Amino acid sequence: MLNNELNNIYALRSRGETYRLMGKYNEALADFNKLLEIEPGYELALGKRGETNFMMAIDDLTKSLTIEQKNVFALSYRGSEFYKLKIFEESFEDLNKTIAIEPKNA
């Protein structure tokens, strides 16, 4: 569909969302950015681009935590990102770990 109609808003939105759900965040961002070039005030594209950036941050912070599990910065920041996405259980877990590691951070 996109090959014939490069500026097809529905197809770009659907493909961008599919990429986002697959964890292909760079591809998703490219589609959401293209949508915003076509229609600068498109609120759904703005929201999805913001959500994709949060997910990219969570992925990077998770990778950081596989290297250093007690990284208080990564735990607290990832907890905040989860909270912004309304993923409360994971947010609560990360923030509790932060407090357990560094009680003065409470």
Cα distance between residue 22 and residue 46, in whole Å: 19
3-state secondary structure the chain: CCCCCCCCHHHHHHHHHHHHHHCCHHHHHHHHHHHHHHCCCCHHHHHHHHHHHHHHHHHHHHHHHHHCCCCHHHHHHHHHHHHHCCCHHHHHHHHHHHHHHCHHHC
pLDDT tens digits, 67-76: 999 999 999 9
User: Is the Cα dihedral 66, 71, 73, 79 positive or negative?
Assistant: positive
pLDDT tens, 51-91? 999 999 999 999 999 999 999 999 999 999 999 999 999 99
Domains with residue ranges and CATH for the chain? 1-55 (1.25.40.10), 68-106 (no CATH)
* Dihedral of alpha carbons 50, 52, 55, 59, sign: negative
> Tokens for 26?
């760079």
pLDDT range class, residue 20, cuts 50, 70, 90 = very high
Residue 50 near residue 40 (C-beta atoms within 8 A): no
Least confident of 2-6, 15-19, 31-35, 41-45: 2-6
